[in-house]
Amino acid sequence: MVTTPTIPASPAIITDNILRVRAQISEAAARSGRLARDIRLIAVSKTQPLAAVQAALSANQEDFGENTIQDARNKIDHLQNKTAVWHFIGHLQNNKAKYLPGRFQWLHTLDSLELAKKINQSMSSANQSLSTLIQVNVSNDPDKYGVDKNDLPELIETILNEDLKQIQIKGLMTIGKLGASQSEQKTAFDLLRELRNKMAESFELPLFTELSMGMSGDYLLAIESGSTMVRVGSSIFVARNKRTN
């Protein structure tokens, strides 16, 4: 069996893809006894051209995820769209925190006190705040960033003790391990949910409710495990040719 290469999606295909993904989210939510409105679809627009983002915006997609500052700056600054909500979902170097204000409303990848301080300083200078998730490497994957689950309580405690007023920590994020089985992914997602619940209770954080987990290959499984944010890229922005024998 031969799989033909992926091709860029046209605006019409992007619209169709968004509608299909949203329908699948609704179905997964219903199976889990949840409401689709409680699950935020983040269109991962990294590496995508402006035209693709504009097509998604025209299809009433509001949330977008980027993983490099340079690519994101070019898009966000050019679009200047007031309805779009931008999520930084890649690893952020400390010296790039200065580019967040005025562009991003969410950061999914906080993993150190030093980065938290840099972000707080940058946001404070701009008189803005940032909704933030702590990235946890629940699978102990050496190829992934994120704090170890055993170090998570200490990191949250030190951030809270620093009283970083411009950072609002609202939950946890993880990236699934490449090549993991469905069972392994489900275990990791369930663990992140349990960690979120435990941290919210231990530190009395009523706004610590978010779970950013699940991508194009596993977002339906993540929803069943309680994900409140799914990061979907190729299922929205790529048109795939059919497989041929």
Q: For the chain, how many structural domains are there in total? A: 1
Domain-embedded: residue 228: yes
In a domain? residue 1 = no
Dist CA 181 CA 191 (whole Å) = 15
Which pLDDT tens digit goes with each residue over 195-220? 999 999 999 999 999 999 999 999 99
Cβ–Cβ < 8 Å for 187, 148: no
Q: Which pLDDT score is estimated for 180?
A: 86
Task: Please report, for residues 12, 71, 133, 135, the alpha-carbon distance to residue 7 in angstroms, rounded to integers and kept in the order given.
Answer: 14, 21, 33, 31
The secondary structure element, H or E, covering residue 68 is none
Indicate whether 182 belongs to any domain.
yes
Task: Report the alpha-carbon distance of residue 118 to residue 57 in Å, rounded.
Answer: 31
pLDDT at 139: 87
Residue 30 in any domain: the answer is: yes
Q: Which domain holds residue 197?
A: 6-240
* DSSP summary character for residue 103: T
Give the Cα separation of 183 and 207 in Å (integer). Answer: 29
| Residue 17 token pair | 């893809």
202 occurs within a structural domain: yes
Q: Read off the pTM.
A: 0.94
CATH of residue 40's domain is 3.20.20.10
User: Is residue 219 assigned to a domain?
Assistant: yes
Given this model, what pLDDT does residue 118 score? 97
Of 122, 121, 132, the C-alpha closest to 102 is 122
Per-residue pLDDT of the chain (245 residues; tens, 9 = 90+): 344 445 668 999 999 999 999 999 999 999 999 999 999 999 999 999 999 999 999 999 999 999 999 999 999 999 999 899 999 999 999 999 999 999 999 999 999 999 999 999 999 999 999 999 999 999 888 888 999 999 999 999 999 999 899 999 999 999 988 888 999 999 999 999 999 999 999 999 999 999 999 999 999 999 999 999 999 999 999 876 543 33
Distance in angstroms (rounded) separating the CA atoms of residues 168 and 170: 6
The verdict on residue 245 lying in a domain is: no
Give the residue from 240, 224, 236, 237 showing the smallest Cα distance to 25: 224
Is residue 100 in a domain? yes
